């Protein structure tokens, strides 16, 4: 259940409330009884550290990320312009 932060635009009261996603937003301030409550949008700090957070990491059985790249096809070593020229000549 998420925690929402509300602030009253009338008296400045700020508080947190646990609410379900389906619950309607609060509008009446518990302090001054005015319909001046607004949800406060706060930035969320996320820090990803270590390896293994992405599907592209291809974790090895030992749990450490694989640093080796898969082998490339034989033609992959040639410049892209050569490959484009070949395909346009064949058309």
Query: Which pTM does this prediction carry?
Result: 0.47
Judged against a pLDDT cut of 60, whether residue 45 lies above it is answered with yes
pLDDT, residue 8, reads 95
Listed ranges 42-46, 48-52, 70-74; the one with the highest mean pLDDT: 42-46
Contacts of 2 (CB under 8 A, 6+ apart): 18, 19, 21
- Express each pLDDT in 14-37 by its tens digit: 999 999 989 999 999 999 999 999
Q: What is the mean pLDDT of the chain?
A: 74
* Pairing assessment for the beta strands 37-40 and 14-18 based on DSSP bridges: unpaired
pLDDT, residue 14, reads 94
Could you tell me which residue, 51 or 91, shows the higher pLDDT? 51
């Amino acid at each position: 259940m998420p925690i929402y932060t509300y602030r009253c635009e009338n008296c400045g009261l700020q508080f947190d409330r646990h609410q379900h996603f389906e619950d309607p937003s609060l509008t009446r301030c518990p302090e001054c009884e005015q319909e001046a409550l607004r949800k406060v949008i706060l930035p969320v700090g996320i820090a990803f550290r270590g390896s293994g957070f992405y599907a592209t990491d291809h974790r090895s059985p030992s749990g450490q990320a694989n640093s080796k790249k898969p082998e490339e096809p034989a033609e992959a070593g040639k410049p892209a312009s050569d490959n484009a020229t070949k395909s346009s000549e064949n058309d």
